[in-house]
Amino acid sequence: MKKNKERLDTILLNKGFVSDISYAQALILAKKVKVNGLFVTQAGSRFNEDIQIELKPEKQYVSRGGIKLQHALLQSKLSVQDKTCLDIGVSTGGFTDCLLQAGASKVYAVDVGYGQTADKIRNHKKVELFERTNARNMNELNHPIDILTIDVSFISILKIIPNLLSSLNDHSDVLALIKPQFELPKHLVRNGGVVKSHLLHASAVARIVVELLNYNLCYKQLIQSPLLGADGNREFFVWMRHEK
* CATH number of 155's domain: 3.40.50.150
Would you say residue 83 lies in a domain?
yes
CB 103 within 8 A of CB 80: yes
Going from the C-alpha of 49 to that of each of 5, 8, 36, 39, 213, the distances in angstroms are: 7, 9, 12, 16, 44
Residues 122 and 167 in one domain: yes
Q: What is the pLDDT of residue 21?
A: 82
Residues 138 and 110 in one domain: yes
Would you say residue 37 lies in a domain?
yes
Per-residue model confidence as pLDDT tens for the chain (244 residues): 456 889 999 998 888 787 678 778 888 887 888 998 889 999 899 998 888 888 876 567 888 889 899 989 988 999 999 999 999 999 999 999 999 999 999 999 999 999 988 999 999 999 999 999 999 888 888 889 999 999 998 899 999 998 898 899 888 999 999 998 888 877 877 766 788 778 888 989 999 999 999 998 999 999 988 888 867 888 999 999 988 6
What domain count does the chain have?
2
Task: Classify burial at 150, counting beta carbons within 10 Å of its beta carbon; exposed 0-12, middle 13-18, buried 19 or more.
Answer: buried
Residues 70 and 146 in one domain: yes
* CATH number of 15's domain: 3.10.290.10
Would you say residue 73 lies in a domain?
yes
Would you say residue 202 lies in a domain?
yes
Residues 163 and 47 in one domain: no
Q: Is the pTM of this model over 0.95?
A: no
CB 69 within 8 A of CB 236: no
Helix, strand or coil, per DSSP, at residue 6: strand
What is the domain extent for residue 35?
Answer: 6-55
Would you say residue 35 lies in a domain?
yes
Q: What is the pLDDT of residue 90?
A: 93
Q: What is the pLDDT of residue 233?
A: 84
CB 111 within 8 A of CB 128: no
Q: What is the pLDDT of residue 177?
A: 95
Residues 85 and 166 in one domain: yes
Residues 72 and 114 in one domain: yes
Q: What is the pLDDT of residue 188?
A: 78
Q: What is the pLDDT of residue 211?
A: 92
